[in-house]
Structure 1
């Protein structure tokens, strides 16, 4: 059983406190939140958490100040630092203060909850409270994965609606994860102990939609042998997810509108209304205003459903999440008993150039197939190309390693052609002087200037990285990734 404990979350953004707090409570942790250094200090006078999660930029000062003293007073406490600054200085200071983990914003909820589990597992293992390996086991993952700016906005909206019952309309292309958003809102919200019921309008014959939604009485139509509760009654007290609402027939739309207005359902063939209490989350991949203009969707129903809109980006619009998602799906497959697979560098590059018309669902399907069908433990670009449609990869596409090999070979031949009579030339250093600054720039830009993470990716220590940056005249603060 994975370790659970008490956690204090300190952030001046209430949305972050809500969504992080609810995610951790869902995994069995006891959580308190604070919005400032002053509130943090007041809470810790009477509350001794196992894990402290704190932002750096707080309204009344620097969240890192005092962390070393807190750890000195409470050696068993693990501190996780969050920061939107993502600078070298912040990363170094977090390490020097004794932080267990440093996560740059925007962070992924799964990554943060895993860090909490790892911190608790390490703490309990040191205290001899769990058997070997027990604390390292992660909790079940949250339904959403992604740390791109587009997904961070989705998370913020989810956090704002957890404490109310406003109707939500989730918009996005097929395969973007609309039902996962509905499940996240339900599982983190006030109704999580009640049913979550989903119905897909596009998958039900038009003549049966009303019976499915509202239920029916015995004898209401041919085959109705007994009274059957509809989705509204099945979701009593919980959440009803109406997927592909744009495919709902007009007559069913009219009846749905009456239910939303009255809060009462009358079964097909029945006369006595039943009071229902459900939260409505609808979703569609269609442009409802266009359907309204074509008299295919009721405008008044649209306003009822579209109280809080959530727009999900297509996968091609959040490419920074592609590799994170791919590895997540491979890891999930391994947890389900399939062989563990990893991605080679040329495979990750190919995943990034593909346009993903089927979005996250297509990526998940591909990773599952690779986990089942591939005989190799390392998925290479060649293996991946055989899985993709022929038109998916440009005819002249070559893996980055192939391009690099050709470039180095051409450079070497040119240098040897003009310099073969110069025995004192140092071609090795000359080549490094061409390639190494480019590599350093790209790695630092990818990690937003964070030298700790950059050094880890490069396989060198931070002092070596600092010296190389100085030698090449590179400023890490100017190498942050700008979208």
Structure 2
């Protein structure tokens, strides 16, 4: 039996050599070329069982070649590789019919696995011709790190799907940007994108905000209110901080996902929900399930496609690109033109970024506005960062860890990050109550879970009067774990 033939097009001789050797050792026949014209001639002549092409070649863009290949040989799989490792490249490759996109540099084992899958995949079903809207030449997400490349590939794979997505990541990592990218390059891009933050709405109003209410449904309901589900009809509904959704709303949301319809608050007629759901959270929802604070069945309905957005400290190689991007945006908004010298870039990469990408953006805008020099130095960066967290300067000796991190240190770190992210004066006016609730709620939930719902034992462990514990459970709207009251 004749082994499959792989056609390679890349203007880099070293890449052609490495791929030819690796594929040859794996039993494939290989033909390689440095230009798109030769590759096209081979395809027209019926040669090859798989194409691996670079994007940038001297005579033609490899992405432009894919639709032509698909017209003359629709069964021929195309794998795209590119050093232009951006979301736009990944999405364009998917839109034009590539089987897979691999950012350079890539792992040879991964490439061989992709080749095996491509050759073994069944022939695609014929579909009606459609001209997709091309991805615009803008960068909704920035970063060339391996973690971000995997996110780009996931988004690209979802451009032709309508699946529910759960985005998990710390505050400030850009979860809404990922949700918008999924919408903007997906099948529902012609519909509305509606976002709602569960943590920003009073718990007693969330159901009305989501599903709307009828006139007279409750005191003060003078008119019918259209909820976010109706507003998002035909488009995408982004449920940010889904972990803060109260139990009653969780139950109603689960019904929408199961039945595809809902009723307004005070209404009787069901309303069809033609909406794609994208949810996001910074919480560990599996821990919340164990504590009885989040429905397990709802979690699995939402977690169809999970996307983990890494914190900035896990992808510091992206900091220079992000910093330059934010300085350019600041210039476009009318702030002075600034640049960063090499020392400043190193200082930025050495920082831990507790506030993640949002903290970096705020810092760049602040430096653009206030730094008197056109070139920003390491000293200037360190001085600004010292104000945010003076005990964690880049280059400062790390404290020796002795057991688990003290709770006070963890709370202090999160408060510093929160305040740093709201230096523009837009911080809420109830920080004190928010912080207390953030600590009290998991403390009581986990204690109740540990005592299997026995409030007498939980009160004793917490050092509280039983009536005080009951009041806190009620005030904090904590689900009661089934067990001994």
Q: Same fold (TM over 0.5)?
A: yes
- By how many angstroms is 1:99 displaced? 7.9
Query: Does residue 168 of structure 1 match 2:162?
Result: no
SS of the counterpart of 1:198?
Answer: strand
Whether the 8 Å contact between 2:7 and 2:39 is mirrored in structure 1 is no
The aligned residue for residue 244 of structure 1 is 241
Q: Which moved more, 1:329-338 or 1:187-196?
A: 329-338
Question: SS of the residue aligned with 1:326?
Answer: helix
1:13-55 deviation per Cα after TM superposition (whole angstroms, max 9, x unaligned): xxxxxxxxxxxxxxxxxxxxxx9859x9xxxxxxxxxxxxxx9
Question: Does 1:297 pair with 2:294?
Answer: yes
1:256 has 2:253 as partner: yes
Which residue matches 2:34? Answer: 65
CA distance in 2 between partners of 1:396 and 1:239 (Å):
45
Structure 1 portions without partners, runs of 5+: 1-34, 41-54, 72-80, 84-93, 115-137, 398-483
The corresponding residue for 2:323 is: 326
1:201/1:209 contact within 8 Å kept: yes
Matches within 5 A, 1:213-252: 213-252=210-249
Is residue 176 of structure 2 the alignment partner of residue 199 of structure 1? Answer: no
Shift of 1:141: 2.0
| 1:224-252 deviations in Å (ceiling 9; x for gaps) | 22111101000000000000001111111
Task: Report 1:358-377 matches (<5 A).
Answer: 358-377=355-374
Aligned pair 1:393/2:393, yes or no?
A: yes
1:227-282 per-position Cα deviation (integer Å, ceiling 9, x unaligned): 11101000000000000001111111011111111111211111111111010000
With over 3 angstroms needed to count, the CA separation of the structure-2 counterparts of 1:316 and 1:140, relative to structure 1, is same
| Counterpart-to-counterpart distance in 2, 1:306 and 1:110 | 25
- Determine helix, strand or coil for the equivalent of 1:240: strand
Show structure 2 runs of 5+ residues with no match.
10-14, 24-28, 41-52, 63-80, 93-134, 398-485
* TM-score, with length taken from structure 1: 0.58
**C-alpha distance in 2 between matches for 1:315 and 1:189:** 26
- Check conservation: 1:326, 1:364, Cα contact below 8 A: yes
Maintained 8 Å contact 2:173/2:309? yes
* Cα deviation, residue 105, structure 1: 3.6
Cα displacement (A) at 1:298: 0.3
SS at match of 2:280: strand
Residue 85 of structure 2: aligned partner: 107
Q: Distance in 2 between matches of 1:174 and 1:227?
A: 34
- Over 3 Å counting, the alpha-carbon distance change for 1:279 and 1:113 in structure 2 is closer
2:169/2:282 contact within 8 Å kept:
yes
Q: CA deviation at 1:65?
A: 3.2
1:339 aligns with 2:317: no
Partner deviation per Cα, 1:457-481 (whole Å, 9 max, x = no partner):
xxxxxxxxxxxxxxxxxxxxxxxxx
Secondary structure at the aligned position of 2:307 is classed as strand
Which sits farther off after the overlay, 284-293 or 381-390?
381-390
The structure 1 residue matched to 2:180, chosen from 159, 183, 197, is 183
Counterpart of 1:279?
276
Are residue 159 (structure 1) and residue 156 (structure 2) matched?
yes
1:185-206 Cα offsets, whole Å, 9 max, x none, are 0000110010000000011000
- In 1, the alpha carbon distance for the partners of 2:174 and 2:140 equals 9
The 5 A counterparts of 1:433-444 are none
Q: TM-score, normalised by structure 2?
A: 0.58
Q: Which residue is 1:312 aligned to?
A: 309
How many positions carry a matched residue from both structures? 306
Answer yes or no: is the 8 Å Cα contact 1:106–1:152 preserved in 2: no
Distance 1:340 1:326 in 2: 13
SS of the equivalent of 1:236 reads coil
Q: SS of 1:241's equivalent?
A: strand
Structure 1 residue 67: Cα displacement: 3.9
CA distance in 2, matches of 1:346, 1:233: 51
CA distance in structure 1 between the partners assigned to 2:223 and 2:294 by the alignment? 32
Q: Which runs of 4+ in 1 moved over 3 A?
A: 35-38, 55-71, 97-101, 103-106, 109-114, 394-397
Is the alpha carbon distance of 1:63 and 1:211 closer, same or farther for their aligned partners in structure 2, counting shifts above 3 Å? farther
Distance in 2 (alpha carbons) for counterparts of 1:67 and 1:262: 50
